[in-house]
Amino acid sequence: MKKVIYLLLIGGAIFICPHQSKAEPYYLARSFDHHHQSIPSNSKAPARPVCIDITANIITVPEQLVGYTLTLSNGEDCCTYYVTDTMLSIPQGISGEYELTITNGNICYQGKVEI
């Protein structure tokens, strides 16, 4: 019986205490460039935002964004990366609030992130 009580206490503590290494999710709004299409899309459904995670200096993106170009800019600095995997490591010197843009030429996801 003591083991069950200890397991319940430890299990409860795990769920109550915040996990410090948890990634911070960011949602990016989507826009579409119609310049390359003769007829614009008549979709009535709103575009679903993409969720990315940032932990320290590692950005995790969904698999659907592999092959896109990721740009970080804060007004002074601008860094561009080609997304080849779902995890992208950025230099340690980059920190602060940045405008993040992920694009493939037609579809563009944008949002502000804190690194």
Tell me the β-bridge partners of 108. 31, 103
Whole-number percent of the chain with pLDDT over 90: 31
- Structural domain range at position 91: 21-37+46-114
Residue 19 pLDDT level (bands cut at 50, 70, 90): very low
CA neighbor of 113 nearest in space, from 25, 19, 18: 25
pLDDT in tens, 42-94: 555 556 778 899 888 899 999 999 999 999 999 888 999 999 999 999 988 88
Residue 30 located in a structural domain? yes
Strands of the chain, DSSP E? 24-32, 50-55, 58-60, 69-73, 78-82, 87-89, 97-103, 107-114
Indicate the average pLDDT of the chain.
78
Residue 12 has pLDDT above 90, yes or no: no
Domain count, the chain: 1
Q: What is the pTM for the complete model shown? A: 0.67
Residue 79 located in a structural domain? yes
CATH code assigned at 33: 2.60.40
Residue 6 located in a structural domain? no
Residues 54, 91, 88: CA angle, nearest 5 degrees: 45
Residue 9 located in a structural domain? no
Residue 86 located in a structural domain? yes
- Using CA atoms, how far apart are residues 111 and 98, in angstroms rounded to an integer? 8
The answer to whether 69 and 82 have CB atoms below 8 angstroms apart is yes
Residue 53 located in a structural domain? yes
CA atoms within 13 A on the CB side of 53: 10
Residue 63 located in a structural domain? yes
Residue 14 located in a structural domain? no
